[in-house]
Amino acid sequence: MEKKSYPSFSSRLGFIMVTAGAAVGLGNIWSFTYVVGSNGGGGFVLIYLLVLLFLATPIFMAELLLGRMGKASPPEALSKLQKQAGSKIPWAVPAWMGLISTIFILSFYAVIAGKVMGYGFEALFGGFGGWNGEQIADLNTSYNGNELLSAFWAGLFLALSVWIVGTGVRSGLERASKIMMPALFAMLLGLAIFAAIEGDFARGFDFLFGFRNVEFSAAIFLEALGLAFFTLSIGVGGIMVYGSYMGDDVSLPSATVWIVIMDLLVAILAGLAIFPLLFGAGLDAGVGPNLVFAAVPQAFAALPGGSVLAFIFFLLLTVAALTSAISLFTPTVQRLVENGWSRRKAAWSMFVPAFGLSILTTLSFGSWNDFYPLAFLGLDGLTFFDLIYKGTNNIVLPLGGLAFALIIGWGLQRDKVRAALSMKSDALFTIWYGLLKYIIPLAIIFLFVKTIWP
């Protein structure tokens, strides 16, 4: 086989849009509203904004940079950099941890994305238009109760992702998402406008931005940090792969800023659409992971042509979820391809454990919804889904981010980092570097320690 040179994105805009597609997904719409809702709203949003700006954004840039410097799958990229730096510490360890965690993330991601697809299917057959609140609630209950159906959709979502990763369809989907992402954005904007007129906008807005009841505990900060990392896709090496493909002419800091802004805008817009709808329907913000599925259909029920609009919405959300799921597959697939595997075989080999584990989440929403497997360890009230979700988001992602910060701040030479970054402003570089070297590691370690020993 002819050896091709390392692939890269041809244009700056192309790079930004595809990487934003990997970042924007269910996290911005489903997780953001569910986690903000469960944590009481405004105060949590404030903390989210703080950690997004000071911790997650610098790490996003660090992860892109490590990919650009290492140009290989995350474990290989980090080993290569380790050898160059002459360090004895195995830098690839956090990358391997990240790869393993992608399987766990995919396992619940597929169940939620599958439900989005299932709801789209319902809309295709005339669902949602003209429905009342009871019908919407019943659909949610019956969907969650039907574990076979839920597992079917989760499996289908994973199979679709595998197929896309294993074939050339991927670049086609990424091209399509350049249209579909703005379309999803427009649709969320439309929903927010509808919610402002018909829903309880005042209460929704106040819930999101009324910065009171701020509880500054370490556990809350860690939860906000996990959410920020999750919505930006950082901590597992997924973004590193995108950085490795990044053309050298693309400015890393400006790409970071654009992607973070888009990612944040989608989340805020989703919140502005969903909370007024939720309160307008007399529902509670603390309902948990079903929040989106309770709120969004309220709008389609009331709108003319609601079924068609619902179908378009769930379709666009499915595409957003697919482009994110792809970014969860690629670091591992890349690593296996380095071992001589085909992309297809590599992707299918991830399907098996991801689908197997997804059954645990399916059951957590169904008949095991009051089964708390680690109750004997004091983790009472947490289902398998809760454990997998919180374990990956609030523990693995921050640990991955911590490792990337330490590698940039302490492992690599400052001059090399400075040169690879191509950042014009010295002042900004000094701030970013200082954050990664001192503030971020201390903050993350402090949050872990304080959460364990409050």
Contact footprint for ligand TRP (CB under 6 A): 22-23, 25-28, 105, 230-231, 233, 235-236, 238, 324, 327-328, 397
Helices marked H in 281-305 — which ranges?
Answer: 291-302
CA distance to 9, 239, 254, 257, per residue, from 16 (Å): 10, 12, 9, 10
DSSP 70-108: H-S-HHHHHHHHHHHHT--S-THHHHHHHHHHHHHHHHH
Q: How far is the CB of 215 from ligand TRP (least distance, A)?
A: 24
| Cβ proximity of 47 and 215 under 8 Å | no
Rounded CA-CA distance 130/301 in Å is 5
Cβ proximity to ligand TRP, 105 vs 291, nearer residue: 105
Q: How far is the CB of 264 from ligand TRP (least distance, A)?
A: 11
Cβ proximity to ligand TRP, 39 vs 330, nearer residue: 330
Q: How far is the CB of 128 from ligand TRP (least distance, A)?
A: 23
Cβ proximity to ligand TRP, 298 vs 324, nearer residue: 324
Cβ proximity to ligand TRP, 25 vs 199, nearer residue: 25
Q: How far is the CB of 431 from ligand TRP (least distance, A)?
A: 25
Q: How far is the CB of 73 from ligand TRP (least distance, A)?
A: 14
Cβ proximity to ligand TRP, 62 vs 423, nearer residue: 62
Chain Cα centroid distance, residue 97:
17
Rounded CA-CA distance 359/338 in Å is 30
Residue 371: left if φ>0, alpha if ψ -120 to 50, beta else—which one?
beta
Burial (0-12, 13-18, 19+ Cβ within 10 Å), 213: exposed
Q: How far is the CB of 29 from ligand TRP (least distance, A)?
A: 8
Cβ proximity to ligand TRP, 200 vs 386, nearer residue: 386
